[in-house]
Amino acid sequence: MSRQLQRQPADNDRKLRPVFEFLDNGSHKKALQEIDKLLRKNPNQQYLRTLRSFTLIWLYRRNEAKEILDELHSEMPNDEMVLQTMSICYREIQRNDLIPSLYENALKKDSTNEKLFAHLFMSYVRINDYKKQQITALNLYKVHQKNPYYFWAIMSIYMQAITADDKTMANKIILPLAEKMCEKFYKENRFESDSEYDLYLMVLEAQEKYSRMITVMDEKEQRQRNETN
């Protein structure tokens, strides 16, 4: 079970080893006892408190676990291990909706952190908030200009289109935006993977632009031949 959890740095691992061993063995009560011993010496230590919450969940003491999570949430932690463990706890109690604000708060303290941005994006994926996925992916791309982040934004726009109740808006505004973003990178020969081509083709197919799809597939094949020669 403890394999779900991120570990503390090596200097603290010795003290925490019994906790993880008890968790792995399903000895939740003993794990809780070890955590409480450590907390008596460091009552404000955030990672220990997240471990306590995690253990309480497995002891079916979810109200107590949620109280700890609420306290930690209000402290706006930005330590990656604390955030990851809290996220696991929220998923266990079916509160994925509380994970995004964890990472939003952390980014207020570390506004260019690539990992925090990526976790924030994935937290929106879990709750199907496509608009916020788009915004987060674009903000991430502005700071760390990597192709996957740009195409995360396009996929988020595409998902808004295919799930939209207003199909007129989807067809006249949302899908053309996704196509425009794909076309920009395509014309600049900045596609890096098959998945990026696949997404472009999905956007075109959603608009029934079959002729353009054939052109893109032919040009992709030609580009790949040129790269191997």
Domains and CATH numbers, the chain: 1-127 (1.25.40.10), 129-229 (no CATH)
User: CA-CA distance, 155 to 151, in Å (whole number)?
Assistant: 6
> How far is 164 from 142, CA to CA, in rounded Å?
27
Query: Which one-letter DSSP state was computed for residue 172?
Result: I
Cα separation, 23 vs 229, whole angstroms? 55
Give the list of residues 6+ apart from residue 191 with CB closer than 8 angstroms, or none.
147, 185, 197, 200, 220
Q: Which of 216, 220, 194 is nearest to 207 (CA)?
A: 216
In angstroms, the CA 154 to CA 111 distance is 22
What's the token pair of residue 20? 């993880």
**Enclosing H/E stretch for 91:** helix 80-92
Task: Give residue 10's pLDDT.
Answer: 43
3-state secondary structure of 198: helix
Residue 165: DSSP 8-state: S
Tens digit of each residue's pLDDT, the chain (229 residues): 555 665 554 445 788 999 999 999 999 999 999 999 999 999 999 999 999 999 999 999 999 999 999 999 999 999 999 999 999 999 999 999 999 999 999 999 999 999 999 999 999 999 999 999 999 999 999 999 999 999 999 999 999 999 999 999 999 999 999 999 999 999 999 999 999 999 999 999 999 999 999 999 999 999 888 877 6
- Closest by CA to 70, choosing from 86, 57, 47, 82, is 86
Contact (CB, 8 A) for 107 and 80? no
Residue type, 101: S
pLDDT digits (tens, 9 = 90+) for 142-151: 999 999 999 9
